[in-house]
């Protein structure tokens, strides 16, 4: 990597706590333009917290996150599906138009140009005819396609995806990974949380293994090793051990490991 290449996003000794329990400890990471990075790790390891911290949704206990731009529109974020309320009375077009609002400002009218962009995005995600459908009628895969179309209109430089392929069918994954790769080729910085080791090994050149602290970080083939995965599991186990003191919980954890 060349010396003068500045990261688009940089964590310097970041620590984050919820109430009194540490979620992330002393995290230092750099992300570059056009990079495709996966975040892996045990449940509760701080993956979602890391993405939220980039958006400023959780306060830092200490350290610093440097961003090439602090404009709201420059970061696109897809939360875990479990965090999204789909009962809201919106159509597919409404949701995608919201991406345009983030790019252009909320008080700009949706004009013909935006409508053309919405249609193009719908075609790109394989939902050409679905614009007027209500959100709650979509399958998990279709809904994720809609969120990707929204992200296209937002046109952000940094794209954060939290477990985008959990509960999504194989065809959708294949279509959406193509879009993610295109985003990286366009010079955007992509960070994706995933539990699927094989998927990460196939598509992501860089990875971070996170278990409250960074266990490993760099080229995926050096990060996903048995030794590192064991260490991540051990760290999360020790952490749970110190958080659950009652005998019943301890017994359960011991049997589980
Ligand atoms: P992951 O996404 O890797 O499963 P999270 O970032 O969601 O992990 O959570 C990291 C830790 O922080 C967990 O112990 C979780 O219980 C805790 N945590 C997450 N969100 C909150 C919150 N809003 N309030 C209190 N604790 C939280
Ligand atoms: Mg999570």
Q: Which residue has the higher pLDDT, 64 or 246?
A: 64
Q: What is the pTM of this model?
A: 0.88
Strand partners, 12: 64
Q: Which ligand is nearest to the CA of 17?
A: 1
Q: Which ligand is nearest to the CA of 164?
A: 2
- What are the pLDDT digits (tens) for 187-221? 999 999 998 899 999 999 999 999 999 999 999 99
Crossing angle (nearest 10°) for helices 140-154 and 92-104: 20
How would residue 257 be classed by pLDDT, with cut points 50, 70 and 90? very low
24 CA to centre of ligand 1 in angstroms: 9
pLDDT higher than threshold 80 for residue 18:
yes
Pocket lining: 41 vs ligand 1, CB cutoff 6 Å = yes
pLDDT higher than threshold 50 for residue 239:
yes
- What are the pLDDT digits (tens) for 164-181? 998 889 999 999 999 999
Distance (Å, whole) CA 12 – CA 195: 25
Residue 105: Cβ within 10 Å count? 9
pLDDT at 103: 67
142-157 as b/e: b if 16+ CB within 10 A: bbbbbbbbbbbbbbbb
CA within 13 Å, CB half, 48: 13
């Amino acid at each position: 990597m060349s010396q003068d290449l500045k990261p688009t996003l940089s964590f310097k000794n970041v620590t984050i706590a919820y109430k009194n329990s540490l979620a992330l400890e002393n995290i230092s990471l750099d992300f570059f333009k056009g990079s495709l990075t996966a975040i892996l790790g045990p449940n509760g390891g701080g993956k979602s917290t890391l993405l939220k911290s980039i958006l400023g949704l959780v306060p830092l206990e200490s350290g610093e996150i440097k961003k090439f731009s602090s404009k709201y529109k420059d970061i696109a974020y897809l939360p875990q599906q479990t965090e999204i309320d789909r009962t809201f009375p919106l159509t597919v077009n409404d949701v995608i138009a919201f991406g345009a609002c983030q790019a252009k400002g909320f008080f700009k009218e949706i004009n013909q140009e935006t409508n053309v962009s919405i249609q193009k995005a719908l075609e790109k995600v394989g939902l050409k005819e679905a614009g007027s459908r209500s959100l709650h009628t979509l399958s998990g895969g279709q809904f994720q396609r809609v969120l990707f179309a929204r992200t296209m209109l937002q046109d952000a430089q940094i794209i954060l995806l939290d477990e985008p392929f959990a509960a999504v069918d194989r065809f959708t994954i294949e279509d959406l990974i193509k879009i993610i790769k295109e985003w990286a080729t366009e010079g955007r910085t992509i960070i994706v949380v995933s539990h699927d080791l094989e998927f990460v090994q196939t598509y992501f050149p860089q990875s971070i293994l996170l278990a409250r602290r960074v266990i490993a970080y760099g080229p995926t083939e050096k990060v996903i090793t048995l030794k590192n995965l064991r260490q991540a599991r051990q760290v999360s186990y020790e952490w749970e051990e110190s958080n659950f003191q009652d005998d019943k919980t301890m017994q359960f954890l011991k049997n589980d490991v």
